[in-house]
A and B are shown apart, each in its own frame.
Chain A
Amino acid sequence: AQSVSQHNHHVILSEAASLELGCNYSYGGTVNLFWYVQYPGQHLQLLLKYFSGDPLVKGIKGFEAEFIKSKFSFNLRKPSVQWSDTAEYFCAVREAAGNKLTFGGGTRVLVKP
């Protein structure tokens, strides 16, 4: 069974700071990778996804992520955060041959104005 680890449970930073959230997964086969965001009181929204091709993917709201296959990692980055980026961020992994999406434990990000 695959598992997904997000090493940072809570991150606090100031506006304009850079953000990097780690995500590692354990599965040896081909995977599809996702980052979802859950703003306070709102539903899960897709930030970005990786299926194949360029391992550096760009998503909405200035976020990007890099897939490093050798490290089983899919870290999320944003060069300069805003107060509105305060949310919980979930990394998720799906075996390319399946329907099951496995989520990491989530990282709560608080951006101070």
Chain B
Amino acid sequence: DTEVTQTPKHLVMGMTNKKSLKCEQHMGHRAMYWYKQKAKKPPELMFVYSYEKLSINESVPSRFSPECPNSSLLNLHLHALQPEDSALYLCASSHPGTSGRAIDEQFFGPGTRLTVL
């Protein structure tokens, strides 16, 4: 299984809602990532988890809250988002290597297309 799955595929939410995005992989990868991709732009890194610990936070606003409950799952909790947060949210995973460094390519999921009204 070389697949990263993400749910839901589409999400529409109001600015006062609380929602969560989910990501799952069964490749034994111990590094997982959240990216944000705006239309016609490259993916931008948001968070990196390595061995279930948050290792990189790219100065993301606190209305985005990541969680890695186990080595296969990654969540992104959303609260009080703004319309400009509308984007495609991508999850990825990779082997982190024994020192916690990524030693292989990242595998990407299909993304969740988020619209904030």
Contact = CB atoms under 8 A, between A and B. Distances in A.
A57 B110 CA distance: 26
User: Interface residues of B toward A: which range?
Assistant: 20 to 34
A95 to B, nearest CB: 9
A101 B110 contact: no
A32 B97 CA distance: 14
B108 A44 contact: yes
A105 interface: yes
B31 interface: yes
Nearest to A41: B110
Interface string A93-104: 010111111111
Nearest to A91: B42
Interface in B51-109: 55-56, 90, 92, 94, 96, 100-102, 105-109
